[in-house]
Amino acid sequence: MRVLILGGTGAMGNHLVKLLDDRGFEIAVTSRSREGSKGRVRYIRGDAQDPAFVGELLKERWDCVVDFMVYTTQSFSAQADRFLSSTAQYVFLSSARVFAGSDRPITEDSPRLLDASTDKDYLATDEYALTKARQENRLMDSGRQNWTIIRPYITYGEERLQLGHLEKEHWLYRALHGRTILFSRDICARQSTLTYGLDVARAMAATIGNPKAQGQAFNMAGRNPILWSDVLDLYVEVLETHLGRKPKVVLQNLPDTLAWSPAPAQVRYDRLYNRVFDTGKIDTLIDSGDFVTPREGLRDCLTAFLKSPRFLAIDWRREGVKDRFTRERMSLSEVSGMKNAVKYSVCRYMSAGN
């Protein structure tokens, strides 16, 4: 079986490549930086957001195309038919963030924000949850059935450790540099579902080449919800062992959280909801009872990360805002570049905004 994976070098993609390789598939993976072959896996350097680049790849016949890319609604709408006509199965990575808040475990047929929200200002945006729902509609309305919609929720791994709406660059970086972790008191009280990337990849692999998965959507989240307050406590416990001291934590009210949040809409329309999932549908593909529990998986992943910590770009403006809240300050020698030092200083000492 020949599989093309667009953008398959992230937390889920790397696991998926290995799983499919183990099944003897011939795999091509697009990457912005990597190229060359290793056994049956071929890495093709290029920008999978570029229709011309992808068009050349789709001239080959693929049994399955797995698409990890993030598109605007307009860009995806323009390319959807080409994806569907170029393969026997098109696997589209959506997100379980598409769903509205629910007091019951979420199923694949639960109301989505796009259909249930009455917030006209929000619905006028192309925010991530709305974008993904509109792109799902484009596939569902295509007149074809050779698509499979995958809806992961919060997926973690050794390089990605989230705390509510915060990536590790927003909370873990601060803790390792001796500054206070800021988090939302409101989010702390909510239940969420965090799933290890390998487990999501195993469930995804079960859909590939599976006729029963065509024309279907699958929520890919585990069956073990956890309070965000318990996630925070677990992180603090691991960090205390690693650092020899307990990291400082301040829980903020919602307005103060939103003052520096990197994604306010994500807070309002996802992280403030309880997110518990009914796993009945993916259990027809794979036993989600075998998934690693969040407590075990998060502990192992954070411990592994701390052995050789690597961070993506730090948002120095928001670091300045956070330090203004906590009355802390960093040495400007820590900041990369004069422009970033100015951004930090303005937000820390002069600006009233973020």
Question: Beta strand pairing status for 191-192 and 226-227?
Answer: antiparallel
DSSP-derived secondary structure letter, 346: I
Helix, strand, coil share of the chain (percent; to 5): 45, 20, 35
The DSSP annotation for 199-250 comes to HHHHHHHTTTT-GGGTTEEEEE--S--EEHHHHHHHHHHHHHHHHSSPPPEE
Q: Which residues contact 27 (CB under 8 A, 6 or more apart)?
A: 2, 3, 4, 5, 17, 20, 21, 40, 41, 42
Tokens of 324: 């203004």
Query: Cβ distance 91 to 148 under 8 Å?
Result: yes
What's the confidence (pLDDT) of residue 352?
A: 52
pLDDT given for residue 354 in this prediction: 41
d(CA 289, CA 90): 27
What residue segments make up the domains of the chain, in order of their start? 2-162+194-224
Contacts of 25 by beta carbon, 8 Å cutoff, 6+ apart:
1, 2, 3, 40
The amino acid sitting at 29 is V
H or E element at residue 172: helix 168-176
pLDDT of residue 11: 78
Could you say which DSSP state residue 348 is in? I
- 2-162+194-224 CATH, one of 3.90.1150.10, 3.40.50.720, 3.40.50.300, 3.40.190.10: 3.40.50.720
What is the tens place of the pLDDT at every residue in 139-185? 999 999 999 999 999 999 999 999 999 999 999 999 999 999 999 99
CA distance 46 to 34: 9
The residues with which 246 forms a beta bridge, in sequence order, are none
Q: Which regions in the chain score pLDDT beneath 70?
A: 351-354
DSSP 157: B
Residue 250: the pLDDT is 98
Report how far residue 37's alpha carbon sits from residue 21's, in angstroms, rounded to the nearest whole number.
Answer: 12
Tokens representing residue 275 in the block:
């997110």
First to last CA, the chain: 50
pTM recorded for the entire structure: 0.93
